[in-house]
Amino acid sequence: VLGGVGGGFKVAMNILNNGRFGMAAAMAGTMRGLLDRAVEHATNRTQFGAKIHTFGAIQEKLARMALLQYVTESMAYMISANMDQGATDFQLEAAISKIFGSEAAWSVADECIQVMGGMGYMQEAGVERVLRDLRIFRIFEGTNDILRLFVALNGFQTLGVQLRGVQKALKNPLGNIGVLAGEVTQRLRRKAGLGSGLSLGDHVHPELQDSSQKALQCLELFAGTADALLLKHGKKIVDEQFALKRVADAAIDIYAMAVVLSRASRALSRGDPTAQHERLLCEAWCHEAHQRVLGCLGPLPSQSFRGLRSIAGAVVESG
Residues designated catalytic: 141
Cis preceding-peptide flag for 273 (omega within 30 of 0): no
Position 229, amino acid: L
The C-alpha atoms of residue 58 and residue 64 are separated, in whole angstroms, by 10
User: Using the 8-state DSSP alphabet, how is residue 300 labeled?
Assistant: -
The C-alpha atoms of residue 52 and residue 89 are separated, in whole angstroms, by 46
The C-alpha atoms of residue 119 and residue 212 are separated, in whole angstroms, by 41
Between β-strands 46-47 and 50-51, what pairing exists: parallel, antiparallel or unpaired? antiparallel
Q: How many CA atoms lie within 13 A of 47 on its CB side?
A: 12
The C-alpha atoms of residue 62 and residue 51 are separated, in whole angstroms, by 14
Strands (E), 107-264: none
The C-alpha atoms of residue 289 and residue 305 are separated, in whole angstroms, by 22
SS3 33: helix
SS3 5: coil
State the maximum Cα–Cα separation within the chain, in Å, rounded to a whole number: 79
